[in-house]
Amino acid sequence: MKKQRFKISTTHIIMLSFLAAILIGTVLLCMPISSADGKATAFIDALFTATTSVCVTGLVVMPTVTSWSIFGQAVILVLIQVGGLGIITIMSGVMILLHKKMGIDDRLLLQDAFNLNSLSGLVKFVKKVLAGTFIVEGVGALLLMTVFVPQFGAKGVWISVFTAVSAFCNAGIDIIAENSLCDYVFNPVINVVISALIILGGIGYIVWWDVVRVIKNHGLKPKGFFKKLSLHSKIAVTATLVLILGGAVLIFAFEYNNAQTMKDYTLLQKIGASLFQSVTTRTAGFATVPQENLSNASAMVSLLLMFIGGSPVGTAGGVKTVTFAVIFATALATVGKKDDTELFGRQLTKQAIGKASAVVCISFAIMFISTVLLSAVTNASAIDIVYETVSATATVGLTRNLTPSLNTAGKLIIIATMYLGRVGPISLAIAFNRKKENQSIIRNPVEEISVG
């Protein structure tokens, strides 16, 4: 009998590469040179910081601005960039830079890393991703310097670069203050630039190049521009706009008379703060309003926005806008007694619907188990715990001030949740469900059941 050899899949490699980056980051952050006081950092805190950086989450147990030296902050920044782009993308970029030929295995890795359906044009896609990322981050950093350099002097350059990368990668980690961006709630430059970086990083690279394609082929004519986009781009853009604007309207209404947040703001300030809160919940993690001061209604809206997150093939987390749109459209089709799920005049495949269902179910399972476990080891309120676990699952980074008070067990639970949330529910499903060879083509009988 021939012995079956275990073959590691591309999904396993992606999972292990993230784990390797976390462990390397942990070792570096444990070193005395990484801490602000020159003392070695506790392993659990270094592990938590490395995980939240690589998983571009933003939950921190130690204030980044006061706990880490410039070297430590630089390590965190590299981990954020690597986590945002993906280790496989970085490695491929180095290979391209060194003019190394990419084999079929390398291309398969990239295909899995970007969740693409085809192997064609992958090298060109990576080049555009890397170039586009660094250009957008660079422009963002230059714009942020107009605020931070006058305020912090030469140090403002470093702060601007760090914040721009963190915003684009939807990490939400900053080296400005312990209260995130709350001191800049009324600063239009900070609000607009950070929001733009978050949205550009979270909308997904597929949308970027689709928009470029339409502009190149048809120009910037507004008429008919949207119709020329691919179905994926239409869904991602529409869902993003609806969620941002809808979330902002609800938060504006719920916080309008909240004395702990926006009651004393002017009308324009309330609109700006509501928009930023709606944008940052798309897995970015920056805060201009203390999350623990939000009303319960706004917190619930934020939970939904966090769980959905950004769009596929981008730097954001969550179940993704396109996934949410597919599930919602399928529900409407079922209620309307339609045989097929359609969006923008196109029929969706059963594979897409099944994958969307799997992503939502596995993400919810991760969040639920994490919530139960965290509830067992902490005495915090239910809403604070759920806020923490949804934020970790969707790699958001917003907290109702619970993260710094986590005990060791709580830290380990959130570390595992951030890792599982970043690696991706569908990747986990593939990784732990190896396909059997010579699978039987015999199908079981079909029988009707009652649902609902």
pLDDT in tens, 118-135: 556 677 777 888 889 999
CA geometry: angle 272, 274, 277, nearest 5 deg? 110
Q: How many CB atoms lie within 10 A of CB 42?
A: 13
**Measured between alpha carbons, how far is residue 142 from residues 55, 177, 284 in Å?**
25, 20, 20
Q: Is 315 helix (H, G, I), strand (E, B) or coil?
A: coil
pLDDT digits (tens, 9 = 90+) for 337-350: 898 899 998 999 88
Question: Cα–Cα distance between 397 and 401 in angstroms, integer?
Answer: 11
Mean pLDDT in residue range 71-93: 84
Q: Could you report the per-residue pLDDT of 274-289, keeping only the tens digit for each?
A: 999 999 998 888 999 9
Radius of gyration of the chain (CA): 22
Hunting for tokens 């769980």 — which residue is that? Answer: 307
**Hunting for tokens 């660094």 — which residue is that?**
134
Ranges of each domain in the chain? 10-429
Q: Could you read off the pLDDT of 233-275 as tens digits, one per residue?
A: 999 999 999 999 999 999 999 999 999 999 999 999 999 999 9
pLDDT score recorded for residue 5: 54
pLDDT digits (tens, 9 = 90+) for 152-197: 999 999 999 999 999 999 999 999 999 999 999 999 999 999 999 9
The pLDDT, as a whole number, for residue 119 is 58
- Classify residue 444 by its DSSP letter: P
pLDDT at 6 over 70: no
Q: What is d(CA 80, CA 63) in angstroms, rounded to the nearest whole number?
A: 16
Residue in this structure with the two tokens 């690279």, named with its chain if needed: 205
Q: Tokens 């001030």 identify what position? A: 401
Residue 1 scores a pLDDT above 50: no
Helix, strand, coil % in the chain, rounded to nearest 5: 65, 0, 35
- Residue 115 has, within 13 A of its CA and on its CB side, a CA count of 19
pLDDT digits over 25-37, tens only?
999 999 999 999 9
Distance CA 346, CA 364 (A): 28
- By the 10 Å C-beta count (0-12 exposed, 13-18 middle, 19+ buried), 225 is classed as middle
38-78: pLDDT as tens digits: 999 999 999 999 999 999 999 999 999 999 999 999 999 99
Instruction: Enumerate residues 6+ apart whose C-beta is below 8 A from 78.
Output: none
3-state secondary structure 15-57: HHHHHHHHHHHHHHHHCHHHECCCCCCCHHHHHHHHHHHHCCC
